Structure 1
Amino acid sequence: MIPKIILGKGPEATRRTIGYLFGKGRANEHIDPHLVASWNNFAPDPGRSPHRDPKEVEAQLAAQLDQPVKMLGDKAPKYTVWHCPVRAAPEDPILTDAQWADIARRIVAAAGIAPAGDDEACRWVAVRHAYDHIHIAATLVRQDGRRPQRDYDQRAVQREARKIEIDYGLRRLKPGDGTAAKRPTSKEHFKAKRLGQDATSRDVLRLRVRRAVAAAADEAEFFALLEATGVNVRLKHGPSGDALGCNFALPGDTNDKGQPVFYSGSTLAPDLSLPQIRRRLATTSPERATVRPGNPWHQATNATERIPHHLTHGDDATRQGQLVALGAALDLLPVTAPSTLKAELEQAAAVFERATRSRIAADLDSTRALRRSVQAIWKDPTQHGDGAGLAMLLDVALTAVAYAIHWHRTRQHAQQEAAAEQALVHLQVAYAQVAGPVLTDLARRSPSLQTKRRYAHHLQEAVPQHAERILADPAWGALATVLAEAEAAGHNAATVLDQALGQRTLDDAHSPARALTWRIRRLGERHAPSPQAQAAKRSGTQRPIPPIQSPPHPTRRR
């Protein structure tokens, strides 16, 4: 159940609100509007007065609601109307008018609008004009002339909604922490539908701004990218002339006066205000989207593969920063992916966006390698045209998202945990689509039976607990191929395999052969070590990389 508070101001605010609630709606969606409850249980009902002009009854109802406000005259508050739509989920049972009336009384009591037993509380009405929701409208002056005590009313009604869900057997939503992006209003939805658009302007702008932040190396490039994607930017300057904020608008999105509809960055999402954007961009400045020489797909994969370690051993600020960087990487992946994968990757990025914000301030210093390598991929995604680069990155991203689920769960970030779980499903679908053809092609080039026996022997010695699963895995042929390719490039196959096994435990891998295939593919494409280095490894003078431990309840599936 979703309650949402809207405040109205102006001398005609109450009259406008009542007119809307008993009108046809912006898309003729209001069916049989009528009162289900009111402050005194006998307020005039424009929807149930067949012998009177409905407009006359609307005016009478608005006047009765407004009476305490009018009594204050010039001392009336700026905002005089409290409007709260309360909507049930599509799968919820249809509630009766009496049940909706009870819900309305609980909501206004929780909000401080009309506490139970307070005869001098604010005047309010609850209007139902659809099977799945009501609108509560109240005036923000009590009948004794005082203001209602409604501190943190949004949080209070959300808490009450969670209790109502339990009492009425409704779909139980996840409790939030105030860091979610603002949802599009019903007006915005109706406007998008009227214009034949799949998404509201708010959602389109949020996506474009997030991608520009993820792709830009500095503020100038950020604004240039927005301009290139058709976003109009209006800066807010302080007395010194410095830009303090920015608003965004889409071309053609105008109000009834023909003026562009601008959204401030902070109303698109809490982390898209100009100060927050500048903080994010500082992790890539002053260098522009460049990384060390090498394959940026490998570098992005290596950086993403370290996220579980940060989530397990870092402090909370570092962990939050890693999730921000992972979200930025997912924002850009759909732009670089084949058309067949775009839909799933876009869905994954859209839902994981919620998992990148919490009340914990993010430390972004450890995210530079991931941000710069992903930006390099965005600038030239053609490397690894066979899909192996994307498959490798998605493989480790699945593990990173699984660890993100666990981290949010341990901190009771319910909405973030649910968002990461949804993202994991979309990433698994995309991974299967891109990895399948690559692994099939690798398996087709599998080395001789004798060579495979040699690799199998080393596996049985190195990881006896996983050897049977690996050798029975459909990806075993692909693993043998990349081992053979590493040998052809001058690597020692046993050494490379040992390195891959030491990077991370295989305990949480659904397909250990696939996991090893991508690790060895990356290791094998590095420059082969010199004979002296290989001799040093054989003599044990180099310390092995300690494997990262799995979370107590791994969610990882691949």
Structure 2
Amino acid sequence: MIASIGGGSSTMGLLKYLFGPGQHNEHNDPHIVGSWDGFAPDPGREPDVTFTQLRDALDLRVVQAGERAPKEHVWHCSVRAASTDRLLSDDEWNRIAQRIVVAAGVAPEGDPDGCRWIAVRHADDHIHILATLVRGNLTQPRIRGDWGRVESELTLIENELGLLSLAHTRTKDRHSGPKRPTRAELRKAERRNLPQTPRETLRTAVRQSLAGAATEEEFLRRLAEHGIRTSTRRAPSGDALGYKFALPGDRNAKNAPVWFSGSKLDPDLSLPKIRARLAAGAAEPVYPDPNEYTWPASGRHQASTTIDHALATLADDQSDDRAAATISGSIEILDALAATSPVLSRKEIAQAARAFDRTGLTHTRAAKTDLRAMRSAARAVLNAGPAVGRAEDGTAAATILSSLVLLAVVIAKWHTARGHEYQAQAANAAADHLRTAYTRHAAKPMAVLDLHGQRLPQSAQDRQVAAIRQALPAAEATKLLNENGWNAFAATLAEAEAAGHDPAVLLAQAAGRRELASADSATAVLNWRIRRDAGLPTTPAVAKPSTRTGAARIRTTATGRTVAMPVNPAAQPRPSAPPTPLTRRR
């Protein structure tokens, strides 16, 4: 069973909805199945009873309390059975409603001063409970934490009535991530012909402004550049207590900006959580080539290396704090990647980032060192600027996306092992979006590499097979050699060998970062890692010779050391400035 709890200020408004036809005439035979005393007037079954009579009965104590009554005096809880559950009777729903109001603290068992409430059924599979939050002694009930208590009670109800158990979804981190859009927000977006609700758009803009930001001032500056309005809530001392944000053009019925506090957008965007991220820091990115056109690819390669290191770290140490840092940092990398990616993959990456939002560990403090490394990677991607569709950008995108797919799969398995089914499903959904984005970038270069691999002389193919069997355990080597991507991978190994590398050493380094059992395609993961680590150029059929011929090669020796290899100066363009490492700030 699934419960949803909300509130409001109009008893009459909610009654009209509960007993009305519904937005699409979906309500059938609305009637009361339970109430505070068992004798509440029922306009659904008693023709002479009006909504006003029922409203007056429910609001009696609210009126008596006068100014002491809470402004939001309506408590509303819907309880829905699973589609596979048997049909429950009205008496069963009545007993369920009684247990829910007791668990929530609305009407404690045996308390004559409990709040007044009714349970309305207008469909076979769910009920709505409406309560007014003033007790018989004109005080307010203590309902803080009602959601957790209600969900615990639902677990007991499911077991006792033989219903589908959703206990596995009720972990302490079940409600991590942002709330789903409300029905009113969805209707507003539909009226305005918007692809998503303004709150979702605003949340994405705030998250992308935070990704890799080094200071609070930089975060606020980025928001201003996005056109986001920001207001600070301050204590009497002048200290900031929190931020609220508004999307330009999003206004309410009074033509005033629609403000959202950070925590309402996403639990991770409260001021304490924002400052905890910023406190981890982010290193200033360094791009080896002074040509700014190469920086997007360089930033993506740097980030993919960090992700691969995080995978290895998570394999060795699966503690909650390290997992929290990896997940939190991954979201920032995805936000940075979505903000700088071409239209080809931008939407899928953004959707993966939002799915990743729901994989976090809300109650766990992230390991600071690990979080700093991931945030630095996000900063390297964002500060490099947008990818403009050059061949190097596409292969770099395929490299980082292959790493992110593997990371999403590993995080899903991490959650599954701990019974976090909700987060595991979100991680798998993120992996699906990332696979789609990866395919769009990788299809063309992989096809070219596959063709090159097919044309390799038999002697060259034999050398690569020998290198694989030398570097990897027998089972992994056999699996690798039987994968569909073998030809493309053989082409990459041959290209690395021609550039002066030892393929066996490269393989051992690339495969040693993380066991590849979780990868969809081990050859694809290793292919992009080796091309990145060896500094191999874009595949010849799609490369622009003038952009990569001057790249310094890196030679991997049999000892595992890397040394710079000189290239023919006449074959490379003369740089306008010495090729020293540069930093870029935005």
Q: Which of 67, 70, 84 is the matching residue for 2:77?
A: 84
Q: How does 1:11-410 map to 2 (within 5 A)?
A: 13-22=10-19, 33-51=30-48, 57-72=50-65, 76=69, 80-88=73-81, 97-116=90-109, 118=111, 120-129=113-122, 133-143=126-136, 147-165=140-158, 167=161, 169-170=163-164, 172=166, 174-177=169-172, 178-214=175-211, 216-284=213-281, 288=284, 290-291=285-286, 293=288, 295-314=298-317, 315-378=319-382, 379-382=385-388, 384-385=391-392, 387-410=394-417
**Residues 438-486 of structure 1, C-alpha deviation per residue, up to 9 Å, x if partnerless?**
2211122233221111221232333333333322322222122212222
Match for residue 482 of structure 1? 492
Q: Does 1:440 align with 2:447?
A: yes
* Equivalent-residue separation in structure 2 for 1:39 and 1:339 (angstroms): 56
* Equivalent-residue separation in structure 2 for 1:228 and 1:88 (angstroms): 46
Identical residues among aligned pairs (%): 40
Q: Does 1:4 align with 2:4?
A: yes
Q: 1:51 to 1:435 in 2, by over 3 A?
A: same
SS of aligned partner of 1:306: helix
**Residues 330-350 of structure 1, C-alpha deviation per residue, up to 9 Å, x if partnerless?**
223333444343343233221
SS of aligned partner of 2:231: strand
**Residues 280-334 of structure 1, C-alpha deviation per residue, up to 9 Å, x if partnerless?**
234445x65x235372222111100112233234453233112100111122333
**Residues 20-59 of structure 1, C-alpha deviation per residue, up to 9 Å, x if partnerless?**
544566888766543232222231123334346xxxx222
* Equivalent-residue separation in structure 1 for 2:300 and 2:68 (angstroms): 64
Kept in 1: contact 2:467–2:504 (CA 8 A): yes
Q: What amino acid sits opposite 2:128 in the alignment? A: H
Q: What amino acid sits opposite 1:390 in the alignment? A: A
Gaps of 5+ in 1: 539-558
**Residues 530-550 of structure 1, C-alpha deviation per residue, up to 9 Å, x if partnerless?**
7xx837559xxxxxxxxxxxx
Gaps of 5+ in 2: 290-297, 537-551, 562-586
Q: 1:41 to 1:501 in 2, by over 3 A?
A: closer
Kept in 2: contact 1:234–1:248 (CA 8 A): yes
Match for residue 437 of structure 2? 430
Kept in 2: contact 1:291–1:372 (CA 8 A): no
Q: What amino acid sits opposite 2:5 in the alignment? A: I
Match for residue 452 of structure 1? 461
Q: What amino acid sits opposite 1:134 in the alignment? A: I
* Equivalent-residue separation in structure 1 for 2:314 and 2:504 (angstroms): 30
SS of aligned partner of 1:365: helix
Q: 1:89 to 1:332 in 2, by over 3 A?
A: farther
Q: What amino acid sits opposite 2:194 in the alignment? A: Q
State the 1:135 CA deviation: 2.5
Match for residue 504 of structure 1? 514
Match for residue 491 of structure 1? 501
Q: 1:470 to 1:277 in 2, by over 3 A?
A: same
* Equivalent-residue separation in structure 2 for 1:205 and 1:510 (angstroms): 34
Q: 1:467 to 1:145 in 2, by over 3 A?
A: closer
* Equivalent-residue separation in structure 2 for 1:242 and 1:384 (angstroms): 49
* Equivalent-residue separation in structure 2 for 1:306 and 1:313 (angstroms): 11
Q: What amino acid sits opposite 2:325 in the alignment? A: G
State the 1:265 CA deviation: 0.3
* Equivalent-residue separation in structure 2 for 1:111 and 1:537 (angstroms): 63
Which stretch shows the higher mean deviation, 143-152 or 343-352? 143-152
Kept in 1: contact 2:502–2:558 (CA 8 A): no
SS of aligned partner of 1:181: coil
TM-score for the superposition, normalised by structure 1:
0.83
Match for residue 541 of structure 1? none
Q: What amino acid sits opposite 2:117 in the alignment? A: W
TM-score for the superposition, normalised by structure 2:
0.79
Q: 1:461 to 1:5 in 2, by over 3 A?
A: closer
| Cα RMSD (Å) | 3.3
Kept in 2: contact 1:26–1:187 (CA 8 A): no
Which stretch shows the higher mean deviation, 246-255 or 300-309? 246-255
* Equivalent-residue separation in structure 2 for 1:501 and 1:8 (angstroms): 56
Q: How does 1:467-546 map to 2 (within 5 A)?
A: 467-525=477-535, 528=553, 534=557, 536-537=559-560
* Equivalent-residue separation in structure 1 for 2:62 and 2:148 (angstroms): 25
* Equivalent-residue separation in structure 2 for 1:75 and 1:368 (angstroms): 49
